[in-house]
Chains A and B, each alone.
Chain A
Amino acid sequence: MTSPAADATACDLTIAIGGLQLAMPVMGAAGCAGFGQELARLGLLESFGAIVTPSLRARSGATAHRARLVESPSGIVLPTDWPSIGADSLQPANLPWEGTGIPVIASLLGNTSGDLAAAAHGLRHRTHMRGVRAVEVNLAVPNAANNGVPFAHDAFAATKAVAGVRGELPREVPVLAKLAADVTDVVEIARGCVKSGAEGIVVTAPLRAVSLRGLSPDLPPTATGLSGPALLPVTLRAVWDLRAAILTGRLGSVAIIAVGGIDSPEAAAHAISAGATAVQLGSALVHDPGSGATVSRGLGEQCRLHGASSIRDLVGAAHHA
């Protein structure tokens, strides 16, 4: 069996997202890859360029509902604001990603821009950014200061939230803004995030959804999202629009990271050719924790198939076809 690392010698899979250099364009998505220890136990961590942590809040605390996963055809529906450890409970001497050796992207969550900034502040001071190579701001959650409209649905709120997080972090740590594709114009939201200092745009977060059991909501309707392979065409649309906006100059130069429905080398190659620099695997890891190896290895094959010596040659290729 060929390891992804061996493939990398044949096809250069290294990528850069702002100042973040990764050996592989495949990441584990927030909430689906643990803190890296779980994949390390299975011997599957080396297939990833980075792991995005479960979303951290400023403070630990229970939510009003339990994190629960409901299946839908080719998808999973789950709460988008499930409980996680808070940055305040991170133990500096025993960080949850300690010893994995994998680049870590810390995902932050909050229900106001102040909460998000506080989470960034807590992360910086509790970890001294040890092992943290970048920060992802989860903007697809309800904004309590705007009647529960997600940050990702409002350019002003997204801009403010990213600026708050950016201001709390060292300049050398790239900030990635995680947006949702179920908006009228994802480019407009991304423009605000880039102006606030985001060096990467991650699309798409779970799309807003409702799950019913009998005649009642099965999960809290205010914070429920759909993930899974059903999202792939929507993800490709959002990546396509962002890349097209960069090419026309409407959006400044920014790395695009595709997430949502990526579960195979072919899907990853499609996302990259639509304009993504890297991909994140989410629900694919729930179904098969080995899908990281499958996608990483398969991307090397895709490079060879398309006569590219580097995965970077495929980024946005579909726009020139």
Chain B
Amino acid sequence: MRGTAELIATRRAGSFQHLTFVAPGVGESARAGHLVSFAVGGPTSSLLARRTLPLRAVTASGTYGGTVEVVVEGGRDDGTRWLADLRVHDEVQIIAPLGRPFPLSQEPVPCVVVGVDAATAPLIWLATQLRDRACPVELVVAGSDDQHLFGVVEARRITGGVSVVTPDADGLDRPLAAAVEAAVRRSEAAVVYGAGRAARMAAVSTAAMAGGAVPQVCIVEDMPCGTGLCATCALPLVGKDAQVHTVRTCTEGPVVRGDRVVWDQYLAGLR
């Protein structure tokens, strides 16, 4: 769907804003891990780059004829601040669904689902789908601080196995990796699903591989067009031919195999 979406609900959630838009036609094809891309700033905006975010949830039909939900961190930049400040009945141009969603296991294998900051949003949706397929699910919800934890209550409604992680004196990566390793060990997980900024997903992938699980990570970094046209969200990925290929996070991702990302090269380019 490419068109105008109307905001019908906005509510604060810690440091984030949880937005619900009427967007007919998205819910029928969207899956957890898919993206939605927003033109920000309104018709006279001087902001050219779009803001591309993972979908938190969708409804295919209902009172409003189909909705999409996203969670925005308003303090990240001018564009996300504009999105977070939208008021009910405001309209915004969107394109959705975009990208490659989380692949779901055909077998009821144990899974660990790890979300960091606002990127936790799509994982509640994913965890529900996994649980419905009889996959035992453990959730790890991490935040840069208490205000950046999202979805802890919802996570506990889905499963009893929820770990909440906040930074220690050295930052978030070490406790996050420790929590993922412990969850993988405990559940003997075959797959670790993650979503968050690239540096966090590098830590999650390493921890998943250490426990023998396959990391499927949704990388949430800047995707200025969301459609693959600008190619500035390039991600180095080792292909099946063992060669490094550059793919676009917004079209060939955002969900990729964490064990195939050339993290050092990618993270160096993000700095």
Which A residues have a C-beta under 8 Å from some C-beta of B? 31-34, 38-39, 42, 54, 65-69, 71, 73-76, 78, 82-83, 228-229, 283, 285-290
Contact = CB atoms under 8 A, between A and B. Distances in A.
A69 B47 CA distance: 12
Contacts of B230: 31-32, 69, 286
Interface string B61-101: 00000000000000000110000000000000101000000
Identify whether the interface residues of A are mostly helix, strand, loop, or mixed.
loop
B158 interface: no
Interface string B224-265: 110111111010000000000010000100000000000000
Given A83-B234, A83-B246, A289 B227 contact: yes
A-B CB proximity, top 6 nearest: A66-B269, A74-B46, A38-B228, A69-B232, A286-B225, A73-B46
A43 to B, nearest CB: 8
B49 A286 contact: yes
Contacts of B39: 287-288
B2 A67 contact: no
Contacts, number: 74
Nearest to A227: B48
Nearest to B49: A71
B234 A286 contact: no
A38 B78 CA distance: 27
A161 to B, nearest CB: 24
Nearest to A283: B48
Given A65-B269, A67-B234, A289-B2, A74 B229 contact: no
Nearest to B268: A66
Contacts of B251: 38
Given A42-B95, A66-B234, A68-B232, A286 B50 contact: yes
A261 B49 CA distance: 14
Contact of A69 (B78, B93, B222, B227): B222
A290 B2 contact: yes
A102 to B, nearest CB: 14
A83 B231 CA distance: 10
B237 to A, nearest CB: 13
Contacts of B270: 66
Given A65-B269, A69-B224, A290-B2, A38 B48 contact: no
A229 B228 CA distance: 21
Contacts of B246: 83
A239 to B, nearest CB: 22
A34 B48 contact: no
B221 to A, nearest CB: 10
A67 to B, nearest CB: 5
A76 B49 contact: yes
A33 B229 CA distance: 5
A303 B2 CA distance: 28
Contacts of A290: 2
A308 to B, nearest CB: 28
A38 B2 CA distance: 14
18 contacts: A38-B227, A39-B229, A67-B231, A67-B234, A68-B222, A68-B269, A69-B49, A69-B222, A71-B47, A73-B46, A74-B46, A76-B49, A228-B48, A283-B48, A286-B230, A289-B2, A289-B227, A290-B2
B46 to A, nearest CB: 4
Contacts of A33: 229
Q: Of residues A39, A229, A289, which shows the largest number of chain B Cβ atoms within 10 Å of its Cβ?
A: A289
Interface string B134-164: 0000000000000000000000000000000
Contact of A34 (B2, B78, B229, B232): B229
